[in-house]
Amino acid sequence: GGFRGGELIVNTFAYHFTPAGSMLECGAQALGCTVIPTGVGQTEMQVTTIRDLRVAGLVGTPSFLKLIVEKADEMKADIASLGKAHVGAEYLPPALRQGMAARGIRVSQSYASADLGLIAYESLMPEGTVNEGMILDEALILEIVRPGTGDPLPAGEVGEVVITSLNRDYPLIRFGTGDLSAMLPGASPCGRTNARIRGWMGRADQTTKVRAMFVTPKQVNEVLRRHPEVLKARLVVEGETGNDRMTLKCEAGERADGLVEAIVASIREVTKLRGEVELVAPGSLPNDGKVIEDARKYG
Amino acid sequence: GGFRGGELIVNTFAYHFTPAGSMLECGAQALGCTVIPTGVGQTEMQVTTIRDLRVAGLVGTPSFLKLIVEKADEMKADIASLGKAHVGAEYLPPALRQGMAARGIRVSQSYASADLGLIAYESLMPEGTVNEGMILDEALILEIVRPGTGDPLPAGEVGEVVITSLNRDYPLIRFGTGDLSAMLPGASPCGRTNARIRGWMGRADQTTKVRAMFVTPKQVNEVLRRHPEVLKARLVVEGETGNDRMTLKCEAGERADGLVEAIVASIREVTKLRGEVELVAPGSLPNDGKVIEDARKYG
């Protein structure tokens, strides 16, 4: 996050019943920063602390950063000392990052989880630009797999982030994070050469309900397994409440006679539901990690 | 608290905007314990954690210990693994300690503050008995002074705890804690030979309002300073709302003519209030650290 030794940091992650507070505190202390643990909530006290102690940096979720800055405006509190924030634990909207930059707060993010600790982090150029993507933590092995399977995807395809961590205290082998991302080609402009991923791109678990029955990515992949001619598939669920329709769009090179009928039969066997099948050209399905797309309109 | 390396400890002190959580965590980790930081509140989750992980020890306030044990009873949760608790930050009622002992939880306490960290601690005998009094932390210098003054009291007299801490990071010279205690004679049965104090005996700040005016321990001592014949004094405030009376009880050896009248005049000069004076025999005032006793009935 561009923090430097000697700087005063407010840590707005919680320490109670979650490792987030402690994890970020240890990181900041390793850099030589002094950390004020505030936890979540108490926004007014957090603003007062930043103002009175001229705090240089903030660590927390994007939401809390926003809340605190808005509260400072409301209180007309001078928090100009706050020049950087390092965020995580939820999606960082680009508009929020731009808004913060406009008022002099440089925002960078990292991607971590309670089980794994740090997974990947953004890097900064000397003049402060935040580089694209996130660099994988050097101690981890990362795979991108097709959701609902353990099968690695070709570079650049969006899929579930699966991590192997060989640390002695808490080793994890092929731990499915449930998050979607993809590998980024090339090396970071900052000079680090480890693997890079695009940021967090959504959750991998696309289990949905169709006509009151659960349909899972694993079932979609079971259908695919029965038809090797199909290279990639995406189950699209449409319709109004009480009238769900599902269509399996299949990228297929060879289109053997009876393929569509055979897939329809497999769908019924695996999901106990009726589904249509539409054959599409290889490479035509979107690269967004979705095995099941819920295209129904709600509300 | 009798904690041992390898034990699992629940830390119910808060980590946010207070050093208590972190202070106790560092202590437990130095012993080799594994600490689960829960913070305050979330009593049900604390009980579930103790039950599911078979937690051996608890750190927190006496109130929270009580709340958690009561919640466990209410939930019919088996928390028999919890055999010890180390408490602080507020008064530990002897009845609470006895009640906990009766259900197999040994309770010991320490006396600490945000500025000083640990001040004094109870020690245990090998078989688990908690020794009388608290042993002073080896890094501190402790004085017991007359409330409202910096004057050290003879050993055994109750007065304000004043601490000198010569640590490099945050030195404090004669820091008045505002707490009352007294030195205990002799050495602890556990074998430690450092100074011992009786536990926390109340707050030293006895400033009170008499006929809508503040009267402070410092003013009482200013009156005494003008009359060296008086060895010790205690201002007793009595009466019903709107009809306060105050009497300065003075231990005096020599009772010179006009002494009472002279003290009455001094009281008026120093406090702007009328007060009576009663001479009593040396050694007859109670040894409880009180310079001002508010004997009014409220409600």
Q: Would you give the DSSP letter of residue A115?
A: T
Tokens of A90: 């939820």
Yes or no, beta carbons of A15 and B38 under 8 Å apart = no
Which amino acid, residue A55? Answer: V
A235 at interface of B, judged by CB pairs closer than 8 A: no
Task: Specify the CATH class of B1-114 in words.
Answer: alpha beta
What does the block give as tokens for B78?
């088996």
Residue A256 has pLDDT above 90, yes or no: no
* Tokens (6 digits) for A18: 């979650």
Class of B133-204 in CATH: mainly beta
DSSP H helical segments within chain A, as ranges? 20-30, 43-53, 62-75, 94-102, 217-225, 259-271
Which CATH code is given to the segment(s) A135-203?
2.30.38
Contacts of A39 in chain B (CB under 8 A): 14-17, 39
Per-residue pLDDT band at A241 (split at 50, 70, 90) = low
Q: In chain B, which residues have their Cβ closer than 8 Å to the Cβ of A44?
A: none
Tell me the three state secondary structure of residue B260.
Answer: helix
pLDDT band at A253 (very low <50, low <70, confident <90, very high): confident
For chain B, what is the mean pLDDT? 93
Q: Which residues contact B30 (CB under 8 A, 6 or more apart)?
A: none
Residue in A35, A33, A30, A93 with CA at minimum distance from that of residue A62: A93
Strand partners, A283: none
Mind giving me the DSSP string for A232-280? EEEEEEESSTT--EEEEEEEESS--TTHHHHHHHHHHHHHSS--EEEEE
Task: Provide the total of helices (H) and of strands (E) in chain A, helices listed first.
Answer: 6, 18
Q: Enumerate the residues of chain A whose CB falls inside 8 A of the CB of residue B21.
A: 15
Q: Are B221 and B153 in contact (CB under 8 A)?
A: no
More confident residue, B173 or A257: B173
* Tokens read off for A147: 């959701």
Whole-number pLDDT of residue A90 = 87
- Token pair 């569509």 is found at A260
Residue A239: pLDDT band (50, 70, 90) is confident
ipTM confidence score: 0.76
Percent of chain A with pLDDT over 70: 99
Of the pLDDT bands very low, low, confident and very high (cuts 50, 70, 90), residue B104 is very high
**Across A256-282, average pLDDT:** 93
For residues B222 and B282, give the distance between their C-alpha atoms in angstroms, rounded to a whole number.
20
Q: Which of B295, B281, B292 is nearest to B230 (CA)?
A: B281
Q: Cβ of B21 and A42 within 8 Å?
A: no
Put simply, the answer to whether B15 touches A38 (Cβ < 8 Å) is no
The whole-angstrom separation of Cα A86 and Cα B113 is: 32
pLDDT digit string, tens, across residues B10-54: 999 999 999 999 999 999 999 999 999 999 888 999 999 999 999
Question: Quick one: tokens of B260?
Answer: 């009472």
pLDDT digits (tens, 9 = 90+) for B222-253: 999 999 999 999 999 998 766 889 999 999 98
Among A28-37, A236-245, B162-171, B254-263, name the one with the lowest average pLDDT. Answer: A236-245
Backbone angles phi, psi at A25, to 5 degrees: -65, -45
The pLDDT-based confidence of B299 (bands split at 50, 70, 90) is: low
Q: Mean pLDDT across the stretch A201-205?
A: 86
CATH class name, domain B208-294: alpha beta
Q: Residue ranges of the domains in chain A?
A: 1-114, 135-203, 208-294
**What is the sign of the dihedral through the CA atoms of A53, A57, A59 and A62?**
positive
Contacts of B39 in chain A (CB under 8 A): 14-17, 39
> pLDDT tens digit string along A32-84?
999 999 998 889 999 999 999 999 999 999 999 999 999 999 999 999 999 99
| Predicted pLDDT at A126 | 87
Both structure tokens of B39: 């913070």
Report the share of chain A in percent with pLDDT over 90: 81
Distance CA B299, CA B280 (A): 31
